[in-house]
Amino acid sequence: MFENLTGKLETIFSKLRKAGRLTEKNIQDGLKEVRLALLEADVNFRVVKDFIAAVEAKAIGQEVLRSITPGQQIVKIVNDELVNLMGKQATRIEFSPPLPMGIMLIGLQGSGKTTTAGKLARMFKKEGHRPLLVPADPYRPAAISQLKTLGKQAEIEVFPSEPGTNPVITCKKALEQARENNLDLMIIDTAGRLHIDQELMDELKNIISAIPVKEKLLVVDSMTGQDAVNIAKEFNSAIDITGIILTKMDGDARGGAALSMRAVTSKSIKFIATGEKLDAIEVFHPERMASRILGMGDILSLVEKAHKAVDKEKALELEKKIREESFSLEDFKEQLLQIKSMGPLEDILGMMPGFGNMKKLKNFSVDGKEFARIEAIINSMTKKERLNYMTINGSRRKRIANGSSTTVMDVNKLLKQFAQMKKMMKAFTSGGKKGKLMKLPFM
């Protein structure tokens, strides 16, 4: 989402670094460019004005002007102010009595409330909680069936609501069911509207009065730009929301909503959704987002994804195989599947320092079909061939290509890459079999 903004900021900071000794004038010229870049990213005008003023006040201080690396000092100041702008630190959901705790999702139609309800339920279930999904949108039958489908996929209980049922009655009965089944969390998917109106607000207030709701989370489509900020202001004024969830953060919008929301509403962004899959949701970390925006990557999130995707026992087994130089194509396929489970490759690369602005990488493309092609080629091999690729001669390569609907050139390319990778792995072990493998953070 922040690709364009990241590219512009990197260009601006590159100029400042090359300037050598900085003066008030070239700092102010640089900040004018930063201001324009933020406005073009659809950040709220008042937010930009206050942000630039805060950065300028620190950047023109003697500490920066006399610094040996003034350009880097300015990047640090901008980074710190971005973190402050977005809320300083992650705000997590705290579970406390009375249980079951109520989380109510509110927002306009099309913002992604129903899908987000399923994602939150799955995430909290993985953390050891026992959620109940509550369809409290009586006007859109598809919302109820969609929530049932999501519940089935995530193996989470869904309250059996019917279209046309008063949402307050639905929520009261769901509360009884949650207590009877010893569940500790209710995630309530409320009705939306095309526009904010009094009827919608009254309905939400009635639910809040009828059952214990601890969290009132506004779900906002981040691709709506400044409209998202205005929507948040109105909901916050009427309902006093406790937090915000930004959806479609994997889109190609300018991203201004994420930078404006906290400053305008004074409410924290608690989660961001980055795709359609049930696991495509994460806690919002201001410091990590600032790092991504400035093109410095997000190693912590990458390691967290790796921890979730990689089986520790398999990782230790892999380490042993690499050390003993017995890593095979079968193991290679297993690693590819684990990488795929971490999410789209573009997202993973975007978390690595230097890869934030993908447009910089000329002739670089992330082809999702390549994984499937490699998997098909390896699946077309016999077990003996997977364990020892050196046995794969010309006739075997033709058979493998035919069996995987690829070409001999594709098979040759894979085998060449695998051989190169084996050499690299050997380099990781100083002294071969007796050496110690340099561990990855998730091993």
Q: pLDDT digits over 37-46, tens only?
A: 998 888 888 9
Q: Across all residues in the chain, what is the average pLDDT? A: 82
Q: Is the previous residue joined to 100 through a cis bond, with omega within 30 degrees of 0?
A: yes
Q: Is the pLDDT of residue 50 over 90?
A: yes
Cα distance between residue 368 and residue 364, in whole Å: 13
pLDDT (0 to 100) of residue 70: 67
pLDDT of 432 reads 44
Q: What letters, b where the CB count within 10 A reaches 16 and e where it falls short, cover 391-417? A: ebeeeebebbbeebebeeebbeebbee
Enumerate the CATH 1.20.120.140 domain ranges in the chain, comma separated. 3-85
Residue 296 has pLDDT above 50, yes or no: yes
pLDDT at 182 over 80: yes
pLDDT of residue 184: 94
Q: Where are the beta strands (DSSP E) in 289-338?
A: none
Q: Would the annotation count 109 as a binding residue?
A: yes
The answer to whether 31 is annotated as binding is: no
Which tops the pLDDT comparison, 421 or 143?
143
Q: What's the order of all strands across the beta sheet hosting 269-273? A: 157-158, 131-136, 185-190, 101-106, 213-221, 243-247, 269-273, 281-283
pLDDT higher than threshold 70 for residue 367: no
Segments of the chain assigned to CATH 3.40.50.300: 101-296
Mapping DSSP to helix (H, G, I), strand (E, B) and coil, where does residue 150 land? Answer: helix
Check whether 192 is labelled as a binding-site residue: yes
The CA-CA-CA angle for residues 160, 162, 164, to 5°, reads: 150
End-to-end CA, the chain: 30
What is the mean predicted confidence (pLDDT) over 379-407? 93
Q: Tell me if 86 is assigned to a ligand binding site.
A: no
Check: CB of residue 125 under 8 Å from CB of residue 278.
no
Per-residue model confidence (pLDDT) at position 96:
84
| Token couple for 66 | 């006399």
> What is the average pLDDT across 219-239?
86
Select the more confidently predicted residue: 200 or 310. 200
**pLDDT value at residue 64:** 63
Start and end residues for every CATH 1.10.260.30 domain found in the chain: 302-434
382 is in an annotated binding site: no
| Residue 360 in this model has a pLDDT that exceeds 80 | no
Q: Evaluate if residue 282 carries a pLDDT over 80.
A: yes
114 known member of a binding site:
yes
For residue 1, pLDDT beyond 90: no
Provide Rg for the chain, Cα atoms: 26
Residue 250 is labelled as binding a ligand: yes
What's the average model confidence in pLDDT over 140-150?
Answer: 89
What was the pLDDT predicted at 281?
Answer: 93
Give DSSP secondary structure letters for 347-400.
HHHHTSTT-S-GGGSTT----HHHHHHHHHHHHTS-HHHHH-GGG--HHHHHHH
Nearest to 51 by CA among 351, 295, 293: 293
CATH of domain 302-434: 1.10.260.30
Check the annotation: does 331 bind a ligand.
no
Is residue 164 a known part of a binding site? no
Query: Annotation-wise, does 178 bind a ligand?
Result: no
Q: State yes or no: 112 annotated in a binding site.
A: yes
Q: Is 20 annotated as a binding residue?
A: no
CATH architecture of 101-296: 3-Layer(aba) Sandwich (3.40)
Tell whether residue 225 is among the known ligand binding residues.
Answer: no
Which pTM does this prediction carry?
A: 0.70
pLDDT reading at 347 higher than 70: no
pLDDT over 80 (residue 148):
yes
**CATH number 1.20.120.140 is the correct assignment for the domain at 3-85:** yes
Mean pLDDT for the stretch of residues 170-192: 95
Tell me the average pLDDT across 230-250: 90
Task: Please check the confidence at residue 115 and state whether its pLDDT lies above 80.
Answer: yes
